[in-house]
Amino acid sequence: MSTTFDLDGQPVPFQPGDTVIAAATRAGHTIPHLCWDPRLGPSGACRLCTVEVNGRPAAACTTRALAGLRVACQTEPLQQRRRQLLQMMFVEGNHFCPSCEKSGGCALQSAAYAAGMTGPQWEEFYPQRAVDASHPALWLDTNRCILCKLCVRASTELDGKGVFAIGGHGIHTHLIVHSPSGRLADSAIAATDEAAQICPVGAILPKRRGFAVPIGERPQDTP
């Protein structure tokens, strides 16, 4: 028996246990998101996948698909809300794209392009957390971290190493490394780990490899 819900006027089939975003993505639809990955459990951190479910806002990554749900994704109010969320993420960190090695391949940046974000409307926080360059193959700049927790979940759920965690409260919440010294070099992480590669922004990067792809050929470049 096939069951469907309605996404912007189109029927989307789903399997029992599916979230709205999982079923929609499998059916070829795009719901903007930053902290969701089909291989990992949901996080509900970024709020970018917020849609209207039966008229009320809900995160598509934590909402179970049900037969007959009416889901709206591409509406102007939701687009406006996404722009605001993205502006918040930008002012919270030091997102100086002009010198970031992830520019052109960054999910935060491309989500902001897609939402038509041009400038911020809030004051910059300019966080000043120290870069961790202790690891031989990786480096960590948490001033660019958006707390999506993809690395935390990949490290526990896929790699089984539990290298990352989230520490602090409120605006002081930040990514921490699970090692006696708190440094990446003293953790179990390897450059080949999923946790080392899953970062959607420029927070966790490989060393000695940057600006390797010509402008115009980067994953998020438009023709």
Partner 1 sequence: MSRPRIATVSLAGCFGCHMSLLDIDERLFALAELVEFDRSPLTDLKEVGPCDIGLIEGGLCNAENVEVLRDFRRQCRVLVAVGACAINGGLPAQRNGRDIGRLMAEVYHARPGLAEGSGIPNDPELPLPLARVHPIHEVVHIDHFLPGCPPSADAIWACLTALLDGRDPALPRPLIRYD
Cβ nearer to partner 1, comparing 94 with 179: 94
Q: Smallest distance, Å, CB 29 to partner 1? A: 19
Interface contacts to partner 1, rule CB under 8 A: 90-91, 94-100, 103-104, 109, 112-114, 116-121, 123-124, 126, 128, 222-223
C-alpha span between 159 and 192 (Å, rounded): 10
Q: Smallest distance, Å, CB 139 to partner 1? A: 16
Q: Smallest distance, Å, CB 103 to partner 1? A: 4
C-alpha span between 211 and 209 (Å, rounded): 7
Cβ nearer to partner 1, comparing 15 with 124: 124
CB 48 within 8 A of CB 112: no
Q: Smallest distance, Å, CB 75 to partner 1? A: 18
C-alpha span between 19 and 10 (Å, rounded): 17
Query: What CA dihedral angle connects 173, 174, 179 and 183, to 10 degrees?
Result: -140
State the DSSP H helix or E strand holding residue 136, giving kind and residue range, or none if neither.
none
Cβ nearer to partner 1, comparing 90 with 164: 90
Q: Smallest distance, Å, CB 57 to partner 1? A: 25
Cβ nearer to partner 1, comparing 119 with 180: 119
Cβ nearer to partner 1, comparing 103 with 155: 103
Helix, strand, coil percentages, rounded to 5, for the chain: 25, 15, 55
